[in-house]
Amino acid sequence: MPLVFGWIYLVRRFRFGAVKLALYGLSPLNGCFLELMEINMRKKYTNRFYLHSLCFLFVWWLLPMERSFALVVLQYHHVSTESPAATSVSPERFAQHMDWLEQNQYQIMPMGELIKLLREKKELPDKTAVITFDDGYTSIYTNAWPVLRKRGWPFSVFVNSQHHDEKNRQYMSWEQLREMAKTGVTIGNHSVSHAHMIRMNPGEAETEWLKRSQWEIEQAQSRIDAEVGRQEKVFAYPFGEHNRQLEKLLRKLGYIAFAQHSGPLAPFDDSVVLPRFPFGGNYGDIKDFALKASSLPMPLDEVLLLDDKKRPLTDVLLQDKAAKVSLAIKADENFLQRISCFYRGEPAAAAIRDGQLIISTFGAIPAGRSKFNCTAPEKGRFYWFAKMLIKKNEDGSWYRE
């Protein structure tokens, strides 16, 4: 968009007739920019050269924003061949991933720096990755840390305090976590017990559930800070499950929070529902990794979830049977034509209507967690956007894992 501003300014300056009118119609924002400039030129500034210089400096200052917000957050669980395949990458595959990042000159950002940029709403640099691990498994200490330590790369581990308090051998000890924290590793909050936090217990009131959820978060943070020293207020949702009330609670408590829907970080992302690319099972061969690590956030103006009557939904946790759900994406219409979308790994029905791309599921939403994934090609890379849906069983009970 700043490049368009620059071209329009030149057209206005040198009066290129019909071309000027065509560019003027590209965006109301461009028109506003031009009219403001002309008003200043007529009423306030006598030295036009001074205003021209200011305009060019302004456009030059904006140019880096075209390349901003391309940072990716990578998510791992086990780094082992002896753990559940669905949440595991082999040590060899993990090493391949890190080699690719190094060979392609990626910067590896510590969690604290990312949090600072997010809180200050500053630009996120391209070719940058944040590396995260969930659950604090021992294989992170034995197989992943040596690969990262030899490069001096920072990373984060989200832990459930109960597992470490109980000295479960699948998980790192507090001593091992302290050792890592002393070298700059961030120990993040993954709750006390790794429960499905969006689920109320039978007979539990919403106020009681919120109180229990707050205890899960604050107690885990207290144990982490007591064992390894004060850490960043950063949270990862167990199972990637979240709802509107839980998001509101984490925001109130001052946390940045990560989910498990795919995609790079984007300017419009909610700071308590940040995306990560998960790797494990069938996902993560080097081609898949390179595609995701080099992805770009989609330049979207608005994203809405709609029910079967086209009414906006305010929560990814569907509160009724929701026979059908649509994803409505608003962006430049030329860009919308480049987007391909999938639901549960299958191509989704899509149509452009009234400046929106409407992506629909073919039938009733199944119980459990499901996702829309949308991509668009861009000079050897892909724009990427994903949205998670969560639904109970038809009888109102919770689905099994």
Taking only the tens place, the pLDDT of each residue in 284-299 is: 999 999 999 999 999 9
Last residue of a domain, one of 277, 297, 317: 297
58 and 72 co-located in one domain: no
310 and 260 co-located in one domain: no
In a domain, 25, yes or no: yes
Last residue of a domain, one of 42, 66, 90: 66
Question: Number of H helices and number of E strands within the chain?
Answer: 14, 20
384 and 264 co-located in one domain: no
Q: Which residues of 266-291 are buried (b: 16+ CB within 10 A; e: fewer)?
A: beebebbbbbbbbbbeeebeeeebee
In a domain, 397, yes or no: no
Alpha-carbon gap, residue 70 to 78, rounded angstroms: 26
Whole-model pTM? 0.83
166 and 284 co-located in one domain: yes
Give yes or no for a contact between 236 and 257, defined as CB atoms under 8 angstroms apart. Answer: yes
18 and 72 co-located in one domain: no
Q: Write down the mean pLDDT value for the chain.
A: 85
Q: What is the reported pLDDT for 210?
A: 98
pLDDT tens for residues 326-383?
Answer: 999 999 999 999 999 999 999 999 999 989 999 998 778 899 999 999 999 999 999 9
94 and 146 co-located in one domain: yes
pLDDT band (50, 70, 90) for residue 39:
very low
286 and 258 co-located in one domain: yes
In a domain, 396, yes or no: no
Identity of residue 128:
T
Q: What is the reported pLDDT for 324?
A: 81
Alpha-carbon gap, residue 53 to 314, rounded angstroms: 46
Last residue of a domain, one of 257, 274, 297: 297
Q: Which domain holds residue 347?
A: 302-391
Q: What is the reported pLDDT for 69?
A: 60
Instruction: Count how many residues are written for the chain.
Output: 401
387 and 369 co-located in one domain: yes
20 and 127 co-located in one domain: no
pLDDT at 322 over 70: no
348 and 220 co-located in one domain: no
pLDDT at 146 over 60: yes
Query: What's the structural domain count of the chain?
Result: 3
In a domain, 401, yes or no: no
CATH number for the domain spanning 325: value is 2.60.40.10
Least confident range of 11-20, 105-114, 197-206, 351-360:
11-20
